[in-house]
Amino acid sequence: MRTRVDIRPRRGSRTDMAEAEGGVGGGSGARPDMAVQRAELGPLLAMALMPGESWYLVDSRWFKQWKKYVGFDSWDMFGAGDLSLFPGPVDNSGLFGDPETQSLKEHLIDELDYVLVPAEAWNKLVMWYGCMDGQQPIVRKVVEYGLFVKHYKVEVYLLELKLCESSDPDNVISCHFSKADTVATIEKEMRKLFNIPTEKETRLWNRYMSNTYEQLCKLDSTVQDAGLYQGQMVLIEVKNEDGTWPGQPILAKSSTAASRNFTTSSESSASSYSSVSATSVITNCDSSNSYGLNSSHLGRGGSGFVCNSYSCRDNASLSQPGLCGLSNLGNTCFMNSALQCLSNTPPLTDYFLEDKYEAEINQNNPLGMRGEIAEAYADLIKQMWSGRQSHVAPRMFKTQVGRFAPQFSGYQQQDSQELLAFLLDGLHEDLNRVKKKPYLELKDASGRPDSAVAKEAWENHRLRNDSIIVDIFHGLFKSTLVCPKCSKVSVTFDPFCYLTLPLPLRRDRLMEVTLVYADPQRRPVQYRVVVPMMGAISDLCESLSRLSGAPAENMVVTDVYNHRFHKIFHMDEGLNHIMPKDDIFVYEVCKPSVDSSEYITLSVYFREKTMRQSNNASGTVLFGQPLLISVPKHKLTVDHLYSVVLEQISRYVKLPLVEEYSATCTGKGTCNGSNGVVEGDIEEMEHQDGGEEVKDKLAEADACHSEGCMPVESARDLQPCKKQLFTFSLVNSSGTSEINSIVEGKILKLNAFSALAIDWDSDTRRLLFDEQEAQAFEKHGSMLQPQKKKAVVALRDCIELFTTMETLGEHDPWYCPNCKKHQQATKKFDLWSLPRILVVHLKRFSYSRYWRDKLDTVVEFPVRGLNMSEFVCDPRAGSYVYDLIAVSNHYGAMGVGHYTAYAKNKVNDKWYYFDDSSVSMASEDQIVTKAAYVLFYQRRSSEEHTAPSPPQEEYDGMDTN
């Protein structure tokens, strides 16, 4: 429970309230000065993760404001901080998808949306600043991933399991568990949920396909080791009084009768496949209580059923080999898409189906995975190409991948290309024919012919790397670096497994912003403006000025978040600080040039005063759209502020009868009073005429030239009567904590963009504040115009961009051996030799500190006859003509969305669309879309094209076909 203390701070002192009990509410201890806060939290924030520890999520917006307030940022070399940015209570409301249940939003990203702090740091923050009323701490455990290399991370999203009793499968209860929880923890929770006495014997089953059950035998196994996934059904079965299990006769009957579900369709059998299934059970336990079918007693095709780690299906051949979907185990569509592309790569799949891998597994390679990835992949491929399943659940394969690559062990959306890169590398090392890699010293070209240097590089690569992956997927780059000072030329040849091609970047960007006019009677108008991709805030203002007619120099650009200004931008700040999800409001600030008075712009927040039932103390809640007002410095009095604000809100505030309310305050003393304190914290602050940073913002806006500017003196003509509509408080930039009292009758000393709150009582807000009109806005014609069709880019444009010479950045220099120093050299990539299977990764995702974007440009790529010969710089190379065999697609925005695949079946040469467990026919004209992300091309054999074969006398071993 938070306590309130009504204390007027003395000038030059700071009195704080803090409380840390339960992590909620205000504090009970004094907040130390900024230097002490930095010193105490710095080491804590640098702590390493340790398994089992509790860490806390903090909204990055609040945390960044705290860092600026105490001078924690790296640019604040003097650690001075910014007193005007007092953050107020810890506020995590921006992380909640549902404020009532306080469940997290989906797809939150570390550092961008939230920061993680250890328990001790959280306790200190709450003790010093308190926590927003009603918000529970977001605490998560550190869990361990990985088999050989241990990897720790905070498990932000818990795993949701659906729990039920085997006797009542319709009564499902959802519960969340950590991946570090054990099966015993799940059993204990289920006993409690379903009121099962401790003396009753039970056993647990998971259901991972509609008719496939697996017993969870090892109670000490973790959720992760047991392979449980998001949304999986877990059943608890209670033993009968007579010692039998309820499911035994049911399952036995199902097994012998082979109850089947047939799906029939009038469509061609090529596009719709009948599926036969039987209720089946997998047990891998030694318990004599297991019932149903035991996998140890069933060989492949032995009893009419196939029971293994992937599925249990009737072995009737009802599916075309390879046309097998993959069940989504919980955000695993990225994995399914990559696997379908690899599965439909003929030379690799033939290698596994013919069991050639068995003789080449390298269990002793320190860079490999003991052959386990290769074996897991082989098992999955054999399932997919057996012709017995319409779909399988790749649980064991995913578990194996997660053991060796912790980043793929969870159930959050990942990148199909990143999984593909890991898998190709993992398969290569598991199947590397080189048992002991020799040490090789790199040699410079030193003027030797390219052909000799390339041959040497390829032979050296094969001495250390010799596998089916190298045979099929590896090619050779030529890299040329030129020193800008001494003109030293360095030529190297490097192997590659896939081509990552850049897309021509858009030069412009569309932004949707809302302009709040200076004329208080005009509704805000939403505009869609075109701005340079790497432009500045000033470019946004110029573009908006051309559409609206409002002078650009009078505009102030803001990011509004939760009824407050999250950020007020400088004119020279980059537009890359603004993300697509930000709510950008541009205010036309009116500063009449009647005299030479200096004007100051202030932020104004709306707050409603509320009473807390727990302790009858008053608090405040922010509401409405904040204001920016400009007032002459010599008129900074409560009376004048009141009249200016009243004029600004007159469109949506009904003016009351004069005998009930007045336009000016007739009482004496403070205007906010003790009941205006919000969230318990009081912060004294010197408000002088300084503040160069915010002064610069005002200097960028001259006197108002808008026709819409209206005089603000008219409100003062209203007669003073009994009661004001609202009172003023001086608050922090978040509007959550009061800084100082406002005394009527005196000129107020405020900095530019100081924040004021206008506090309303609930009745006045309800009677006079028109919520609907306050939120109303209009749409400019630019919002209604259809957006221009996005430019289409040819695949050859991407290849040409990849092979274009570029200058290295200042943060990525090259060390010149002649100059003996780092230089910003020019760099050029060329293709020297290409592999049998060419994997092309279209670089659709771009990242920066402030910006994440996906380029949804349509890339035109040929389905047949991609001729790469012109891009190969080896003058004696043969013809490189390719045909498309598979595409990994990504739909949606970055970090979210869905992956699918198109692939060409090697048996019948027809195209199919793979969407998790669903497989359907496709035509060639469907394949080229803006969703295409990774392309798989197969090189035509020499008989399929008429180009001459490459000379072989000098290039044996160089052509990677």
Among the listed residues 131, 333, 497, 665, the single catalytic one is: 333
Q: Contacts by 34-42 with C-beta closer than 8 Å and gap 24+? A: 34/69, 34/70, 34/71, 34/79, 34/81, 35/79, 37/70, 37/128, 38/70, 38/71, 38/72, 38/79, 40/124, 41/72, 41/121, 41/124, 41/125, 42/72
Q: Which residues pair with 215 in a beta bridge?
A: 205
Q: How many other C-beta atoms lie within 10 A of the C-beta of residue 553?
A: 17
Residue 759, SS3? strand
Q: How many other C-beta atoms lie within 10 A of the C-beta of residue 429?
A: 20
Alpha-carbon distance of 136 to 101, in angstroms, equals 10
Question: Under a CB-based contact definition with an 8 Å cutoff, are residues 374 and 430 in contact?
Answer: yes
Those residues with Cβ within 8 angstroms of residue 446's Cβ, 6 or more apart along the chain or in another chain: none
Question: Under a CB-based contact definition with an 8 Å cutoff, are residues 369 and 149 in contact?
Answer: no
Q: How many other C-beta atoms lie within 10 A of the C-beta of residue 207?
A: 16
Q: How far is CA 486 from CA 449, 450, 711, 808, 823, in A?
A: 21, 21, 67, 16, 10
- The span from the first CA to the last CA of the chain, in angstroms, equals 73
Where are any strands of DSSP class E within 499-655? Answer: 499-502, 508-516, 525-532, 555-561, 564-568, 584-588, 599-611, 618-632
Handedness of CA 659, 660, 665, 667 (dihedral sign): positive
Alpha-carbon distance of 748 to 101, in angstroms, equals 43
Both structure tokens of 181: 């929880």
Sheet with strand 826-833: strands edge to edge: 489-496, 475-482, 826-833, 806-807
Among the listed residues 151, 687, 898, 945, the single catalytic one is: 898
Alpha-carbon distance of 244 to 237, in angstroms, equals 11
Question: Under a CB-based contact definition with an 8 Å cutoff, are residues 600 and 633 in contact?
Answer: yes
Supply φ then ψ for residue 56, to 5 degrees.
Answer: -120, 145
Q: Which of 138, 55, 155 is nearest to 97 (CA)?
A: 138
Could you tell me the maximum CA-CA distance found in the chain, to the nearest angstrom?
106
Where are any strands of DSSP class E within 612-692? Answer: 618-632
DSSP per-residue string spanning 314-349: E----S-TT--EE---SS-HHHHHHHHHHHT-HHHH
Q: Could you tell me whether strands 755-761 and 599-611 are parallel, antiparallel, or unpaired per DSSP bridges?
A: parallel
Both structure tokens of 115: 């920061």
Alpha-carbon distance of 629 to 631, in angstroms, equals 7
Both structure tokens of 134: 């009603």
Q: Which of 338, 363, 361, 365 is nearest to 351 (CA)?
A: 361
Supply φ then ψ for residue 318, to 5 degrees.
Answer: -110, -5
Supply φ then ψ for residue 102, to 5 degrees.
Answer: 60, 35
Alpha-carbon distance of 745 to 645, in angstroms, equals 17
Q: How far is CA 442 from CA 453, 735, 820, in A?
A: 11, 62, 19
Residue 234, SS3? strand
Those residues with Cβ within 8 angstroms of residue 431's Cβ, 6 or more apart along the chain or in another chain: 357, 360, 361, 362, 374, 467, 468, 469
In eight-state DSSP terms, residue 869 is G
- 95 torsion bin: left (phi>0), alpha (psi -120 to 50), beta (else): alpha
Task: Say whether 898 is catalytic.
Answer: yes
Both structure tokens of 392: 């399988």
Alpha-carbon distance of 8 to 730, in angstroms, equals 13
Both structure tokens of 357: 């891998």
Catalytic residues: 333, 898
